[in-house]
Structure 1
Amino acid sequence: MKKILLYTLLLSATLVFSQDFKLVKGAITENLLVNDSIGETMAIYTPSNFSLDKSWPVIFVTDMRGNAKSSISMLVNSAEKEGYVLASSYSLNDSLSLSENVLIANRMLNAIVTSLPITNNRMYTAGFESGAKFASILPTFIPDINGVISVGATLGSIDILNVRQKFQFIGVVNRSDYNFPDMLEERKVLDKLKFPNQLFVFDGEKHLPDGNTLAMAMRMLTLSSMAKEHIVKDSTLIADTYNELLVKANTFFTNDQPILASYLISDIERVLAPLITMDSLKTTKKSLRRSTSYKKAIRTQNNIILKEDFAKGDYSYYLEEDIITYNYANLGWWNYQMKELDKLDKSSQLFERQSSSRLRGFINALIADNVDYVASAEKVDMDALNLLYMIKTITAPKEYESYLKVITISAGMEDFGTALFYLEELLKNGYSDKAKLYTLENSALLRITPEFNELIEKYLTNARYDIIPQ
């Protein structure tokens, strides 16, 4: 029997759309059924001032690990500030095919549109990393999606873009993120294809943007809707946004960050030009680009990015060669490369420290891709897989899972010497989950050896098995 959705606004903060579909205003409502017969579920956030007597823009947050609530949580404060509904599916997963994930997303979209008062031409997607790539693919398959906010990721595929079906692409990226150079180049491609796009670039220790930056990305979607006359122009919001961004650009320049100032002025132009006169901003932009500080900074950044390209080429070449030839002897080369990046980490020049971060991100992403490729083979090459995890212990020494994988694989091959070496390296790096060490797959024989228990006793105390002196 088809379910009839009833829009009922209660005096409390709860909205009821059917007898089992309730939303709490100003909060995330979890595990809502998308479709009774399929069993797919979603999470939805509605702003605290949500009401049924007006329509709302919606952002579909795509998380390819099914962590719907977690992904929405990262955007809640921004959505509250800018007045957006958020929705995310628990059923999206990297292990599914693209077509399966698109169908899941489309079913969720239909469920939201038939259940909530959503504004026409104001449906968007957003995501982080792999979720962002999928978010950018969806508009090609679902024409009703008008824009994408992609945090720390390039487009899922430029090749499938349809120039007759354009959408707004807003990239948000830290200059320390390895995707930053690619997102810069991608902006040129989108400009050539005449896709509306912005790129919010920021610095800082955290790779994820703060709430204000995400809120401004949402604001850009709102202003673009005004420019297209999909919603009524708000002159106060337009003026306030212009002034806020201009002050921020001036602050960047004053703080010797002329490149960030230039990026931001470009974004102001792209979004606000159809809404207000920009003559003074164009003059400011010309003056900035002609300044000595800008010319010096952009030249330095471009030169460093060029050097990175050569380093990335080396990483890709040697990783492939090492896997094909099982070149365990080349682990020393990888260790040397990381020590060189350690030197850059201590550089007094920001651009060099950011370069180190980008190169680390690149090599670890490259290793992860190769691990996925090798592990997905019908007959897994355990030697190649083990070597990849060994390299990962060098490139990301605080990611304990790689050590555990080497111990497990080596123990399964009865190579206890290697397993014990990586166990000690793991413990030296601060690992302390003793219970997990005694339950590792393929390690039954290893963990009853005196050597295994001596290491446990040395670093964690209270080994499970007695150590009998020889």
Structure 2
Amino acid sequence: MKKLLLTVFAVFILVNLNAQEFRIVKGGVTDSLPVSAVPGESYALYVPRDYTPEKEWPIVFVFDPQGRGANTANLFRWAAEDQQYIIASSNIKLKEKPIDTIINTATSMMNEVLQTFPVDLELVYTAGMGEGAQVGSALPLIYKNMAGVLAVGNSFVNPNYLDKNHPYMFIGVAGNKDYMVYEMEDYLRFYDDLDFPTDIYYFDGKEDEWPNGPVISNALTGFTLEAIKKGKRPRDEEFIQRLFENEMEYAETLRRTREYYAAYQKLDRMQEKYEDFGFEESIEDKKKEIKKTSNYRSQKNDFRQAVAFEREQQREYEYLLGSDILSANFENIGWWAYQVDELEKLKKGEAEAKSNMAYRLLGYLDFVTKREFDEIMKSSAPVDIKIFISVLRTAIAKDDPEAYFKIISLATLDGDQETALLYLEDLLKTGYSDMESLYNIEGALELQFTPEYNAIVKKYLGESKFFNEKVN
């Protein structure tokens, strides 16, 4: 019985935070640990099963746009256990706070963790996705000894503040369906030009998505191997062999699922990554094997053709969008809607390169039209231009209520109730069901009291705020 109790207690450690004792689970995620300097903010923590305070550990600070600290820490769990990292994952909801508040909270969290846990201060890393990647890649400006940044789908780079005397490793991770994939490659070239160590990974995903655990684990091996090369982690040949075999297994999975070109690209990146560890020959043999497969060359050609077409489409979209906005050309809204429909068809096609390209182009159209929408709404542009970009947004992002609200507001203020009612119904056809917001649209108060407005709301939601039985 005594031995059993000792085993149970061994899975926990007690730490002192803010003059309070907290129980930390070893080999599991402990959530809601407070950031004492910023009341109301917290983070989740993962420490490996064999964690001990008697040695110093590498650490990764993780930032998720929605502040899903525990969920995100679990994504890093496999890598943390296998490669011996502590994971501190923020619960900051990045989309709801100004950037200066976010950086202040993130810095406070980092300082408190570094002061509380036995961390190797030369092996401090950040990781983030989307807005979280921007936060993570900005923190080396504050913490000068940062060893590396893992950025998923986005990054922050300011050449004026980058300290070239304190180089760190930059690992980019991009979804094959994410329109930001080329931006990530540009970030990589930027760091390559500065002679910072770099690496890049691709996964089957789109914008605002984390890759799965195996992809994250493979990416983190870049930090691990770089630390070994620099003598900051012990050179354990058995450990290095295991990391190599895990990555080779991932490449083999791509090959077995007939993603030959993706498997070749993966091996090509591995060749540089493992060049100092004696695996060059086995990687080269596997690359030759894949090149002999019948579909490798066709997949390679499909990929290159899709990329060339995509870049041309992006340039055309940018030019035509600017031209249509300046002239408020409502006649061309149908052309933009047709582009979206055609890309939606391509998304569902069997040709993977074209399907991924369609995902990226749709994401790109959403991005550029939202950017223009936000800028125009803040400006003193004429009402017809504001209505045009709003109508265009409903053609590009059919389920986004923001543009519908703006059309209802602008059309009402312009005395065009017919257009306002038309777009109210179009919004409700998308499945939108927040009745309270339908009665809080700026500038549409008088319209919201009309029988016509309430009849449409009742038709789709079953009730309305000011509906009465006399309404037909």
| Partner residue, 1:387 | 388
User: Which range moves more in the overlay, 153-162 or 326-335?
Assistant: 153-162
One-letter amino acid of the counterpart of residue 326, structure 1: A
Which residue of 268, 271, 288 maps to 1:269?
271
| Partner residue, 2:299 | 297
Q: Percent identity?
A: 25
| Partner residue, 2:342 | 340
The two structures have a TM-score, normalised by structure 1, of 0.85
Q: Secondary structure at the match of 1:145?
A: coil
| Partner residue, 1:319 | 321
Change (3 A) 1:103 1:447: closer
Task: Please state how far the C-alpha of 1:128 moved relative to its aligned partner.
Answer: 0.8
Change (3 A) 1:148 1:386: farther
The alignment status of 1:244 with 2:240, answered yes or no, reads: no
| Partner residue, 1:16 | 16
Q: Deviations over 1:219-243 (max 9, x none)?
A: 3322322222111123332112212
**Aligned equivalents of 2:98 and 2:399: distance in 1?**
30
| Partner residue, 2:446 | 445
**Aligned equivalents of 1:280 and 1:48: distance in 2?**
32
Whether the 8 Å CA contact 2:178–2:206 is kept in 1: the answer is no
**Aligned equivalents of 2:154 and 2:469: distance in 1?**
51
1:160-309 matches, cutoff 5 A: 161-203=162-204, 207-289=209-291, 293-309=295-311
Q: Secondary structure at the match of 2:138?
A: helix
| Partner residue, 2:45 | 45
One-letter amino acid of the counterpart of residue 211, structure 1: G
Q: Secondary structure at the match of 2:62?
A: strand
**Aligned equivalents of 1:330 and 1:436: distance in 2?**
30
User: Which range moves more in the overlay, 170-179 or 364-373?
Assistant: 364-373
Change (3 A) 1:15 1:408: farther
Whether the 8 Å CA contact 2:153–2:173 is kept in 1: the answer is yes
Q: Deviations over 1:4-59 (max 9, x none)?
A: xxxxx999554223414736333344262342xx6583414132634422222222
One-letter amino acid of the counterpart of residue 273, structure 1: E
**Aligned equivalents of 1:91 and 1:439: distance in 2?**
25
**Aligned equivalents of 2:162 and 2:42: distance in 1?**
28
Whether the 8 Å CA contact 1:198–1:270 is kept in 2: the answer is no
One-letter amino acid of the counterpart of residue 310, structure 1: E
The two structures have a TM-score, normalised by structure 2, of 0.84
Change (3 A) 1:11 1:172: closer
User: Which range moves more in the overlay, 180-189 or 335-344?
Assistant: 180-189
Unpaired segments ≥5 residues, structure 2: 1-8
Change (3 A) 1:318 1:118: same
Task: Please state how far the C-alpha of 1:291 moved relative to its aligned partner.
Answer: 5.6
**Aligned equivalents of 2:397 and 2:263: distance in 1?**
33
Change (3 A) 1:410 1:22: farther
Q: Deviations over 1:313-371 (max 9, x none)?
A: 12212222333333333322211211221331243311111111000111111123223
Task: Please state how far the C-alpha of 1:123 moved relative to its aligned partner.
Answer: 0.7
Q: Secondary structure at the match of 1:15?
A: strand
Change (3 A) 1:411 1:24: farther
Whether the 8 Å CA contact 1:304–1:352 is kept in 2: the answer is yes
Task: Please state how far the C-alpha of 1:386 moved relative to its aligned partner.
Answer: 4.1
**Aligned equivalents of 1:121 and 1:417: distance in 2?**
64
| Partner residue, 1:108 | 109
Whether the 8 Å CA contact 1:45–1:76 is kept in 2: the answer is no
**Aligned equivalents of 2:136 and 2:151: distance in 1?**
7
One-letter amino acid of the counterpart of residue 312, structure 1: Q
**Aligned equivalents of 1:454 and 1:69: distance in 2?**
44
Q: Deviations over 1:136-176 (max 9, x none)?
A: 23324532111111112255456765544322122222211
Q: Secondary structure at the match of 1:442?
A: coil
One-letter amino acid of the counterpart of residue 77, structure 1: R
Whether the 8 Å CA contact 1:344–1:353 is kept in 2: the answer is yes
Whether the 8 Å CA contact 1:58–1:87 is kept in 2: the answer is no
User: Which range moves more in the overlay, 112-121 or 324-333?
Assistant: 324-333
| Partner residue, 1:88 | 90
Whether the 8 Å CA contact 2:178–2:363 is kept in 1: the answer is yes
| Partner residue, 1:372 | 374
| Partner residue, 1:124 | 125
Q: Secondary structure at the match of 1:61?
A: strand
Q: Deviations over 1:79-112 (max 9, x none)?
A: 65343221437386686467x7555544433232
Change (3 A) 1:69 1:255: closer
| Partner residue, 1:4 | none
Q: Secondary structure at the match of 2:233?
A: coil
User: Which range moves more in the overlay, 405-414 or 241-250?
Assistant: 405-414
Q: Deviations over 1:225-278 (max 9, x none)?
A: 222211112333211221222132133223321221122213322332223342
**Aligned equivalents of 2:461 and 2:97: distance in 1?**
37
| Partner residue, 1:396 | 397
| Partner residue, 1:432 | 433
**Aligned equivalents of 2:129 and 2:204: distance in 1?**
17
| CA-based RMSD | 3.2
Change (3 A) 1:155 1:292: farther
Change (3 A) 1:39 1:375: farther
Unpaired segments ≥5 residues, structure 1: 1-8
Change (3 A) 1:327 1:255: same
User: Which range moves more in the overlay, 104-113 or 163-172?
Assistant: 104-113
Whether the 8 Å CA contact 1:23–1:29 is kept in 2: the answer is no
Q: Secondary structure at the match of 1:337?
A: helix
